[in-house]
Amino acid sequence: MRLLGSWRCAVLAAAVSVSAFGITAPPSNAATAGAVISVIPQPEGWRGMPGGSVVEYWMAGSDGTPQPASGAVLLPEGAPPPGGWPIIAYDHGSFGLGRGCGGQADFASGPWPERRVHEDRFLRTFLSKGFAVVAPDYLGLGRFDTGPHPYLELKTEATATIDLVKAARASHPQLSRTWALLGGSQGGQAALGTAYLQRTYAPDLDFRGTIAIDPASEAENLLPMAGPWGPDLPSVIGDGLTMVVASVLVGMRAARPEVNVDSYLTPRGREVLDSISVLCQDKILERVQGVGISDILSKPLTDEHFRAVIADYMGVPTSGYNAPILLLLNATDIAVPAPLHAALVARFAANHVDHKVVVGTGLHLQINQAMGAAIDAFLTRIKSSKTSVN
């Protein structure tokens, strides 16, 4: 299926790698979450857009203490409207585990340049519609060495996003209080988690809603099925599965030490996790080639303690939202299979979550004509309500 015009190759979960920056994290008690560390204006045309800046800021880490993070702030051309530019916070897909892999603050480096080009083309559509864009790297994926990225940890995906919105508004007075979220794949999971947390974490902002494209969900119910028995699948699928499971375990080992992840691993499993914890996704996939789940796990992940922690770590809330959600889901998605999408929709429906679903039959993160129209309608509704002033 062809992608629709300006929405072509939406998000695509581009994995981006950059070289070591040589930046060391300042002491974690130096500031509070949401505060600005520095603003680095970028040359005209950076990422193919005007008015771009890199913002270094403090975010709440896995244990709640402030951690340094980075992201991009992109502004439309011209003078802002009364009240300032409304904000789209863009949560990216799976990029890896190491410093620099997020690719938002340092976008020019790394593999898969064609995917980065498509991502920027996608973000430019929001600028053309009069939205500013803020794009976090997530904890551990930006310009600071804070250890491995806690992959799929909902809490830090959300605080990275909200704290960047706060820092961007503090450093860019032309930004409004009005904001919305968009993300795909891991970014879709992050956007939903952010939509849930913002109710209590940023009640002073004017949040308008969430667009989630093929969001990762229900994985917390599937991962405990893994064990020394696998599942070990053919390499074309199995390597990707091993990459995801190993990445989640790296993240949990960093963010939830009480789980004692190493106790579930074989010696080879510990070696694999150690080796991928600083890599971007393309290199992780190379490293796990031919490695099965049974090669890394010494015992099953079925015990109640593990299940409880992983549900808290990565589970998407299915009730308690206070703004509308647009779900764009591909029934033929392989990366996040359709039954997982269906389970999320069923839980939203059962809990009376304000949501709309538009279904496609494309690949993971493809946008068809109906989806593109739904995005436009969602943005129009945001813009048609008066933007909140500072």
- pLDDT tens digits, residue range 169-185? 999 999 999 999 999 99
Nearest CA to 106 among 53, 162, 58, 65?
Answer: 53
Predicted confidence (pLDDT) per residue in 205-256, tens digit: 999 999 999 999 998 998 989 999 988 887 768 899 999 999 999 999 999 9
E strand residue ranges, the chain: 36-41, 52-60, 66-74, 85-91, 132-136, 175-184, 206-213, 325-330, 355-360
Predicted confidence (pLDDT) per residue in 282-340, tens digit: 999 999 999 999 999 999 999 999 999 999 999 999 999 999 999 999 999 989 999 99
pLDDT at 49: 87
> Does residue 128 register a pLDDT over 60?
yes
Dist. CA 152–CA 248, nearest whole Å: 7
Predicted confidence (pLDDT) per residue in 256-285, tens digit: 999 999 999 999 999 999 999 999 999 999
- 358: which strand partners? 328
pLDDT at 232: 85
pLDDT at 387: 54
Q: Cβ(59)–Cβ(66) under 8 Å?
A: yes
Name the band, by pLDDT with cuts 50, 70 and 90, for residue 1.
very low
Dist. CA 59–CA 32, nearest whole Å: 8
> Does residue 109 register a pLDDT over 60?
no
Q: List, in order, residues 6 or more apart from 234 with CB less than 8 Å away.
A: none
Region label for 320, one of left (φ > 0), alpha (ψ between -120 and 50) or beta (otherwise): left
CA 312, 318, 319, 322 torsion: positive or negative?
positive
> Does residue 351 register a pLDDT over 90?
yes
